[in-house]
Amino acid sequence: MGEAEITITSRGPVSFTFSELWKNRELLYFLAWRDVKVKYKQTYLGVLWVILQPLLLMAIFYIIFFRTLNIAVGMSYPVYASGGLILWGLLSSGINNSSESMLGSAQMIRKIYFPRILIPMASVLTALLDFFIAFLVFIVLLFIFRQPVSWHILYCFPLAVTLTTISSLGLGALLAALNVKYRDFRYLLPFGMQLIFFSSQIVYSLHALQKDWIKLLLFCNPLNGALELFSYPLRNEQMNVAGILISSGMAILFLLAGLLYFKRTEVYFADVI
Amino acid sequence: MKPRIEINHLGKKYRIKKAAPYLSLRDTISDSIRSVFIKEANHTKDFWALQDINIKVEAGERIGIIGRNGAGKSTLLKILSRVTWPTTGEVIIRGRLSSLLEVGTGFHPELSGRENIYLNGSILGLKRKEIERQFDAIVDFSGVETFLETPLKHYSSGMQLRLAFAVAAHLEPEILIIDEVLAVGDLEFQKKCIGKMEEVSKQQGRTILFVSHNLNYISALCNKAVLLQDGKLAETGTTHEIVSSYISQITNRTAQYIYAETDRPGNDTVRLDSLKIIDSLFNARSNFKVTEKIGIEMKYEVFDHGRILWLGHNIHNQTGAHVFDTHSVNSSYYNQPHTLGKYTSVVWIPANLLNTGSYYISSAIFNHREKIIHFHEKDALLFNVHEAVDEVTAKGMNSEDIPGIIRPLLNWSINKV
């Protein structure tokens, strides 16, 4: 074994180098594996909940919005809404899990060294696993509703998922670090999540909006860009490229802000958590 | 070969706040608003948990870290474990390091024993392949094989601890940092742990840093020790020297103690006046050669006529081991009541009985038959026994210390047959 030399100074950890993360990739896997295992222990339905949760939500919105309000989204409403809801699920459970994750792992943080960023990363990874199971259900729905699909699905879906994951990790890491220092964010978070939900074109379509500047403003919510990409191969409407670019820019901004703030504050996590 | 661990001018400053340990947004906002209008003194106070610490640990050394609560032991271990970061100075670590500031870190109650072995091993820095290779040994050491598939929450706390230690004991680092992990668990398992740690450190040549309040374990495991005092490095030396010096630090009374009139331990029957360690000339002294006899003198006053009073001393050594008790069974007052007045008792520990080291004495007057303890002064005095050069001792021509709690010089006879 090579003579690994570590220098500890006031500058803090070097956990953000890629090699440090790569060295600890197994721990990331085990942390995510633990979250998945623990999540459905002592539930009767077990992993079925992954499928049931978006289905139930979708049923509610189907009854309320489609049956009573008749919202036009340019395609089959149940398919549109369920696609939106599973992407929303990825974003929201990623952010919710990671913002609570640091406090949940306080004991580990106080007692042992590992790159702290692995904790929110594991939370997002867990959300991603849930998403893929729900996504399989969504594929089945496409067949049931005889949804026509264009070849653009091949790049649009992966891009949409990437965009959502990046936003989820960025905001998740930011909130995880903020929560260590200021517990106030625990109570602010539910309102923030509602703001994201209602400003996203999950159960309605931004295409119905008249004013362009409002549309572009709403695309500052990165989920709107992801949803735009997600629905493009499914419906016969023009893609809002400017909106997607704004959303992508915001997602990258969130990621950088989240990681930088996390890195700046992780030095004193063990002292204040 | 360069030292395994090099600690240079290490310091750690904590900012102590009057308020909660974590900040709330309100405080930050209101503080910053206030500070705009009023220039006021900070509400925080700086506290140096560690200051200018310099230690070098060579490969294969086993170093015990000793000090009172708040001396900075845990902070030092936390910095070495990279859990918290220093304010000044640096630490250079050469080699793979594992730290056990607590056993069972990251254990999850909902997961099974098997799952927790993998999780905990991974958190402690083991690769999955290493865990698989060591799995049987870990299960074997913990003795929980029948419950491997049971969720951890159904384990007894003892079983959880055994499993946790078993995982930790099978780490294979070059440097191992251990904090107080043995403070819990039943005695038999503690012995097993100490045995395992001795095996790991002595036979496999690991470098070990060990913090414990149990001086027994420090003595058993470490060949060197450092003494921390108020965040500073007070002393470095052999375990033996440092342990003695620590004991004299905690028991600041040494050769004699005379109680103030109003502060005498006891009750309406009897009160303690003074305690003294004496040499054969009845002078108070705290350092003795192994070839000298050591006296314990106790002065007391009796206020209640006609009571049977028994006197006793407990002797503990520096590792906390109970060496022996002695009671006044062969004095004339064992069966005869005391009358009013002042008394002096003396008991002699024979020469060539105790091993070298430090001893502390607890003294009591009691009556076991009446189940009364009139007073029991714990760790009241301290004395040291050191080597006698050029004299006949049990050590003979041995150059190293002789192990064992006592070191009597016994009569041997050897005849050729």
Percent of chain B with pLDDT over 90: 33
How crowded is residue B220: how many other Cβ atoms within 10 Å of its Cβ? 16
**CA pseudo-torsion sign B309, B310, B313, B314:** negative
**CA pseudo-torsion sign B372, B378, B382, B383:** positive
Positions of E strands within chain A: 5-8
B360: part of which helix (H) or strand (E)?
strand B357-367
Residues 6+ apart with CB under 8 A from B199: none
Phi/psi at B342 (nearest 5 deg)?
Answer: -100, 145
Q: Is B161 exposed, middle or buried (0-12, 13-18, 19+ CB in 10 A)?
A: buried
Strand partners, B228: B67, B233
CA distance B245 to B235: 9
Q: What confidence score (pLDDT) does residue B19 get?
A: 47
Residue type for A184, please?
A: D
Residue in B22, B24, B88 nearest the CB of A10: B88
Residue A273 is encoded by which pair of tokens? 């958590």
Own/partner pairs for A155-161, CB < 8 Å, 24+ apart? A156/A229, A156/A230, A156/A232, A156/A233, A157/A229, A157/A230, A157/A233, A159/A229, A160/A87, A160/A226, A160/A227, A160/A229, A160/A230, A161/A87, A161/A90, A161/A131, A161/A226
Chain A interface with B: residues with Cβ < 8 Å: 1, 3-13, 26-27, 30, 33-34, 37-38, 41-42, 105, 107-114, 180-185, 267-268, 270-273
CA distance B318 to B285: 18
In which order are the strands placed within the sheet that holds B294-302?
Answer: B256-258, B270-278, B294-302, B341-349
Q: Is A136 left (phi over 0), alpha (psi -120 to 50) or beta?
A: alpha
CA distance B63 to B228: 13
Q: Which residues of B touch A111 (CB under 8 A)?
A: 81, 83, 101-102, 105
- Residue in B closest to A272 by C-alpha: B22
Nearest Cα residue to B296 out of B240, B356, B218, B349: B349
Sequence spans of domains, chain B: 5-250, 256-386
CA distance B206 to chain A (A): 15
Q: Which residues of B touch A7 (CB under 8 A)?
A: 90-93
Residue type for B221, please?
A: L
* Fold adopted by B256-386: Coagulation Factor XIII; Chain A, domain 1 (2.70.50)
Residue in B24, B111, B123 nearest the CB of A27: B123
Nearest Cα residue to A241 out of A171, A147, A152, A150: A152
Q: What confidence score (pLDDT) does residue A1 get?
A: 41
Residue A265 is encoded by which pair of tokens? 């504050």
Residues 6+ apart with CB under 8 A from B275: B256, B257, B296, B297, B298, B299, B361, B363, B377, B380, B381
Interchain contact, B86 vs A8, CB within 8 Å: yes
CATH architecture for residues B5-250:
3-Layer(aba) Sandwich (3.40)
> What is the per-residue pLDDT across B78-124, written as a single tens digit (0 to 9) for each?
899 888 889 999 999 988 888 877 777 888 888 899 999 999 988 88
CA distance A227 to B54: 58
Do the first three CATH levels of B5-250 and B256-386 match, i.e. the same topology? Answer: no
- DSSP structural state of residue B149: T
Give yes or no for a contact between A235 and A150, defined as CB atoms under 8 angstroms apart: no
As for the ipTM of the complex, it is 0.82
Residue in A41, A113, A272 nearest the CB of B110: A41
Give yes or no for residue B180 having a pLDDT over 80: no
Give yes or no for residue B249 having a pLDDT over 70: no
Residues 6+ apart with CB under 8 A from B141: B162, B165, B166, B169, B170, B196
Residue A244 is encoded by which pair of tokens? 């997607």
User: Bigger pLDDT: B100 or A243?
Assistant: A243
Residue A215 is encoded by which pair of tokens? 């549309």
Phi/psi at A159 (nearest 5 deg)?
Answer: -65, -40
Interchain contact, B97 vs A6, CB within 8 Å: yes
- DSSP structural state of residue B38: -
Q: What confidence score (pLDDT) does residue A3 get?
A: 57
- Average pLDDT value for residue range B62-75: 82
Alpha helix ranges (H) inside B41-151: 73-80, 113-123, 128-142
Q: Report the predicted TM-score, pTM, of the whole model to 2 decimal places.
A: 0.70
Give yes or no for a contact between B229 and B262, defined as CB atoms under 8 angstroms apart: no
- DSSP structural state of residue B354: B
Sequence spans of domains, chain A: 18-272
Residue in B78, B83, B86 nearest the CB of A9: B86
Interchain contact, A30 vs B28, CB within 8 Å: no
Interchain contact, B84 vs A270, CB within 8 Å: yes
- Residue in B closest to A11 by C-alpha: B85
Q: Which residues of A touch B93 (CB under 8 A)?
A: 5-8
CA distance B382 to B404: 20
Strand partners, B359: B317, B383
Q: What confidence score (pLDDT) does residue A190 get?
A: 93
- DSSP structural state of residue B203: I
Interchain contact, A108 vs B22, CB within 8 Å: no
Q: What confidence score (pLDDT) does residue B251 get?
A: 57
Strand partners, B314: B325, B362
Residue in B96, B108, B111 nearest the CB of A1: B96
- Average pLDDT value for residue range B239-262: 78
Q: What confidence score (pLDDT) does residue A220 get?
A: 94
Q: Which residues of A touch B85 (CB under 8 A)?
A: 8-13, 267-268
Residue A196 is encoded by which pair of tokens? 């994201």
CA distance B59 to B6: 11
User: What SS3 class is residue A74?
Assistant: coil
CA distance A178 to A120: 12
Residue in B85, B90, B93 nearest the CB of A267: B85
> What is the per-residue pLDDT across B291-340, written as a single tens digit (0 to 9) for each?
999 999 999 999 998 889 999 999 988 777 789 999 999 999 998 999 99
Q: What confidence score (pLDDT) does residue B101 get?
A: 78
Residue reference for tokens 């001893």 = B359
> What is the per-residue pLDDT across B365-409, written as a single tens digit (0 to 9) for each?
998 787 788 998 877 888 888 888 778 888 887 777 777 889 999
CA distance B75 to chain A (A): 10
Interchain contact, B84 vs A113, CB within 8 Å: no
CA distance B386 to B294: 12
Least-confidence region, from A53-67, A220-234, B107-121, B253-267: A53-67
Residues 6+ apart with CB under 8 A from A270: A109, A110, B78, B83, B84
Residue type for B250, please?
A: I
